[in-house]
Amino acid sequence: MTAPVHFDKVTLIGIGLIGSSIARALGVLGLAGTVVAADRSEAVVARVQELGLADEATTDLAAAVKDADLVVLCVPVGACGAVAEIIAPHLKTGAIVSDVGSVKGSVVAQMAPFMPTDVHFIPAHPVAGTEHSGPDSGFAELFHERWCIVTPPAGTDPEAVERLTAFWQALGSRTEVMAPDHHDLVLAITSHVPHLIAYNIVGTASDLEQVTESEVIKFSAGGFRDFTRIAASDPTMWRDVFLHNKEAVLEVLGRFTEDLIALQRNIRWAQGDQLFDLFTRTRAIRRSIIDQHQDTADPDFGRARK
């Protein structure tokens, strides 16, 4: 039996890139009878109203979730516990409560203690985004052909998991169900540590910028330019990611450090064959990502030419 994807009332808490993209997609696809946008910022709520992103917009999180069939927290990982505590007493029996954070073990630890036994708590992570944030940054197609990882805690109702999975598929996502802890290890290597490296290399360049009289910026090549795009991501979100997934990040970072030392040795001792073998393997990874439709093979990564 196919799980229903339409919800009578959907409440989105936190209207940044992801929250505003879900709101836009709901509007385009007609997947909700009523969409409520909630945010603690009065400025954000006002902007949501100006943009017409939801049927209702409010700073009152408790009122926002009343009678909602689906509640999705689109807030920084570190805020999930506090939000869960506020909304828990006001959740409807049978409601699905989810999130969009890129760390799952911490979200479960923060939210599960507050979740009533008569609701379905199912964390999820749409692996999609840009370096932009705020209600103006979203777009309905953000999730098309991107993965959404659904991470139900043990004992979660399978029908509720199926319904949330069908919801993300309706938004255009490919979906996979994964244990929260395994998710965190996978994302540490595919997302978190790459972001950490980007922040670090751009920070190093910022220091050098003072020495080279703007030459770092003036002569930025493609590699550094791509690092700066990643390093422009939301600071609050990424601070919380590293603090709340530190065990997996440190594990992967340790392996990366060992590999970096080996690479340094290859260069120092002119071990060209080892360098060539590494670069050949990494080039194949790029081709696999393109084959999986997770990026474009267009020249210059698909950037518009002016």
Q: What is the pLDDT of residues 45-99, one digit of tens each?
A: 999 999 999 999 999 999 999 999 999 999 999 999 999 999 999 999 999 999 9
- Beta-carbon contacts of 10 under 8 Å, excluding residues fewer than 6 positions away, are 26, 31, 32, 34, 35, 36, 68, 69, 70, 71, 72
Clarify whether residues 11 and 158 are in a common domain: yes
Q: Residue 107: inside a domain, yes or no?
A: yes
DSSP for 170-198, please give it: HTT-EEEE--HHHHHHHHIIIIIHHHHHH
Per the structure, the complete domain to which residue 206 belongs is given by 182-269
How high is the pLDDT of residue 171?
A: 97
Which amino acid is residue 181, in one-letter code?
A: D
Clarify whether residues 33 and 130 are in a common domain: yes
How high is the pLDDT of residue 211?
A: 63
DSSP for 34-77, please give it: EEEEE-S-HHHHHHHHHHT--SEEES-HHHHHTT-SEEEE-S-G
Clarify whether residues 87 and 153 are in a common domain: yes
Clarify whether residues 39 and 161 are in a common domain: yes
How high is the pLDDT of residue 1?
A: 46
Domain closes at, from 178, 196, 229: 178
Number of domains forming the structure of the chain: 2
Q: Residue 304: inside a domain, yes or no?
A: no
In percent, the amount of the chain with pLDDT more than 90 equals: 74
Clarify whether residues 243 and 101 are in a common domain: no
Rounded mean pLDDT, 235-257: 92
Of 171, 155, 185, 297, residue with least CA distance to 248: 185
Query: In CATH, what number is assigned to the domain containing residue 93?
Result: 3.40.50.720
Query: In CATH, what number is assigned to the domain containing residue 259?
Result: 1.10.3660.10
How high is the pLDDT of residue 160?
A: 97
pLDDT interval class at 302 (50, 70, 90) = low
Q: Residue 234: inside a domain, yes or no?
A: yes
Rounded mean pLDDT, 107-124: 97
Q: What is the distance in angstroms between the CA of the first residue and the CA of the last residue of the chain? A: 50
Q: Residue 281: inside a domain, yes or no?
A: no
- From residue 62, alpha-carbon distances to 91, 96, 117 in Å are 8, 15, 18
Clarify whether residues 233 and 212 are in a common domain: yes
How high is the pLDDT of residue 132?
A: 84
Q: Residue 86: inside a domain, yes or no?
A: yes
Label the pairing between strands 32-38 and 7-13. Answer: parallel
Does the pLDDT value for residue 173 go beyond 60?
yes
Q: Residue 297: inside a domain, yes or no?
A: no
> How far is it, in rounded angstroms, from Cα 58 to Cα 20?
14
Taking a C-beta distance cutoff of 8 angstroms, is the pair 184, 245 a contact?
yes
Domain closes at, from 178, 195, 221: 178
Domain closes at, from 178, 194, 225: 178
How high is the pLDDT of residue 84?
A: 98
Clarify whether residues 141 and 90 are in a common domain: yes
Does the pLDDT value for residue 305 go beyond 70?
no
User: Which one has a higher pLDDT value, 297 or 232?
Assistant: 232
Does the pLDDT value for residue 298 go beyond 70?
no
pTM of the model: 0.86
> How far is it, in rounded angstroms, from Cα 206 to Cα 213?
11
Rounded mean pLDDT, 134-139: 94
How high is the pLDDT of residue 142?
A: 95
**What average pLDDT does the chain have?**
91
Q: Residue 143: inside a domain, yes or no?
A: yes
Clarify whether residues 133 and 210 are in a common domain: no
Clarify whether residues 38 and 172 are in a common domain: yes
pLDDT interval class at 234 (50, 70, 90) = confident
pLDDT interval class at 306 (50, 70, 90) = very low
pLDDT interval class at 3 (50, 70, 90) = confident
Q: Is 167 exposed, middle or buried (0-12, 13-18, 19+ CB in 10 A)?
A: buried
Does the pLDDT value for residue 301 go beyond 70?
no
Clarify whether residues 48 and 20 are in a common domain: yes
Taking a C-beta distance cutoff of 8 angstroms, is the pair 54, 44 a contact?
no
Highest mean pLDDT among 89-93, 226-230, 238-242: 89-93
Of 66, 76, 155, 61, residue with least CA distance to 110: 76
> How far is it, in rounded angstroms, from Cα 246 to Cα 229?
23
Clarify whether residues 55 and 135 are in a common domain: yes
Of 62, 57, 120, 123, residue with least CA distance to 88: 62
Q: Residue 261: inside a domain, yes or no?
A: yes
Clarify whether residues 13 and 118 are in a common domain: yes
Instruction: Give strand pairing partners of 99.
Output: 73
